[in-house]
């Protein structure tokens, strides 16, 4: 590869002790950017995400069937099986850590200290190590030892209290997002934190410990509403598909039972909407003359829009309003999303030539650079790279590895 075209993280090595979602998403993005990621998995079992349903169709690798969730989070990594509960396994991890600049883990706070694999244990021999710990509640505090999962933090942070149908309407009550929002955001934040720490380290300032907690990320995601509360004492409640800031903004039923989302965030958008629909009477109505007035009369406005839009074909309406400069879109299913013309233009659906699964469709990385490529690697089979990495990084021979395998260490 031409020197100019090397990926951004070419030559960077990452030791991945994470499982499930937030940590693996972070390390997958690092792999997409060209880092060599050594994913440590349990011998014979692997990451828990390998085995959940649904699984990839077709052939199975040497480690058995692979789930679609594992495929979404672990491309481009090297899988190494090591039992870190054994002294021999712990010794291997310590040696591999010395060969890496970054370590990412998401064990419960204090768990890795039992094995001498926490940051405090590794730092004396590796002052440049960037050690990112991802936990539910952080490294300290009254709940630090508890396990935590995405829906828990949607609840704790108040996120669920802002999602769902408002009180007094059918189906009222808080709801969580089906998308594991806190996990995904934590993976993204972890990537940012690691890259910033790498920049700091490359400046000659050494490594450091990153204490990243899902509870922190969930609270940070609530920033607009959290700041409103901190500044005014006002608690934002549920508004369904409407907006507490702009009107009109809602899902409206069109012909065929579909919906279209209209977000009219300023008076210019409102003027465009009225013009496109031929409703000059709405534009002249004093109740709708400004966004504050439209918010006051949002119930009447939504009723009028539902009546006016109910006879429109969904896609004809989306085209009409979109061409008029009104922010709107059909509410797609996941299948329909991949048929969206802009999604197709951006080639968000890609195919990776996987040696086990053949042409494997995947979601393209959202990272795009003009000068350096993003790499969409293949899925590692469980333990596929164990011998290769132990031989190359630790100069172990086949006989030594065979002994460790017989002992269940690798």
Q: Cα separations (Å) of 281 from 106, 271, 275?
A: 58, 11, 10
Q: Cα separations (Å) of 122 from 98, 113, 115?
A: 9, 10, 11
* DSSP summary character for residue 123: G
Both tokens of residue 1? 């590869």
Q: Alpha-carbon Rg of the chain, whole angstroms? A: 26
Distance CA 393, CA 95 (A): 9
Distance CA 372, CA 375 (A): 10
- Cβ neighbours of residue 252 closer than 8 Å, sequence gap 6 or more: 259, 260, 262, 302, 305, 306, 309, 310
Q: How many residues appear in the chain?
A: 410
267 is catalytic: no
> Taking CA 227 as the corner, what is the angle to CA 154 and CA 25, rounded to the nearest 5 degrees?
40
Distance CA 199, CA 216 (A): 23
Distance CA 86, CA 109 (A): 19
Q: Which of 16, 83, 118, 183 is catalytic?
A: 183
The two beta strands, 130-135 and 102-105, are parallel
Q: Cα separations (Å) of 376 from 28, 66, 72, 124, 385?
A: 9, 18, 11, 35, 18
- Residues marked active site are found at 183
């Amino acid at each position: 590869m031409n020197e100019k075209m090397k990926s951004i993280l070419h030559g960077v090595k990452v030791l991945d002790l994470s499982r499930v979602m937030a940590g693996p998403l972070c390390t997958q993005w690092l792999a997409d950017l060209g880092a060599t990621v050594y994913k440590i998995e349990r011998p014979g079992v692997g990451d828990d995400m390998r085995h959940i349903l649904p699984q990839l169709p077709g052939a199975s690798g040497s480690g058995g069937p692979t789930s679609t969730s594992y495929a979404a989070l672990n491309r481009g990594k090297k899988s190494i099986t090591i039992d870190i509960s054994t002294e021999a396994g712990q010794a291997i991890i310590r040696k591999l850590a010395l060969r890496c600049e970054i370590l990412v883990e998401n064990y419960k706070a204090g768990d890795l200290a039992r094995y001498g694999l926490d940051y405090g244990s590794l730092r004396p021999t590796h002052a440049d190590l960037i050690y990112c710990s991802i936990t539910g509640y952080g490294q300290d505090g009254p709940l630090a030892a508890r396990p935590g999962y995405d829906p828990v933090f949607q609840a704790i942070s108040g996120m669920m209290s802002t999602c769902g149908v408002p009180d007094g309407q059918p189906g009222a009550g808080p709801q969580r997002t089906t998308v594991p929002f806190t996990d995904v955001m934590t993976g993204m934040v972890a990537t940012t934190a690691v890259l910033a720490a790498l920049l700091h380290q490359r400046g000659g300032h050494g490594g450091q410990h990153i204490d990243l907690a899902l509870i922190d990320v969930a609270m940070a995601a609530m920033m607009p509403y959290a700041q409103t509360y901190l500044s005014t004492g006002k608690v934002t409640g549920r508004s369904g598909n409407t907006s507490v800031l702009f009107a009109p903004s809602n899902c409206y039923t069109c012909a065929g039972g579909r919906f279209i989302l209209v977000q009219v965030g300023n008076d210019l958008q409102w003027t465009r909407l009225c013009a496109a629909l031929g409703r000059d009477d709405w534009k002249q109505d004093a109740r709708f003359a400004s966004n504050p007035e439209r918010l006051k009369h949002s119930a009447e406005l939504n009723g009028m829009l539902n009546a006016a839009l109910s006879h429109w074909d969904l896609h004809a309406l989306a085209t009409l309003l979109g061409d008029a400069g009104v922010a709107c879109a059909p509410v797609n299913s996941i299948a329909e999303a991949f048929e969206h013309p802009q999604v197709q233009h951006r080639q968000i659906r890609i195919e990776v030539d996987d040696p086990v699964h053949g042409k494997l469709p995947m979601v393209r990385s959202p990272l795009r650079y003009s000068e350096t490529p993003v790499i969409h690697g293949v899925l590692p089979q469980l333990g596929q790279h164990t011998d290769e990495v132990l031989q190359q990084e630790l100069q172990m021979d086949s006989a030594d590895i065979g002994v460790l395998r017989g002992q269940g260490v690798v």
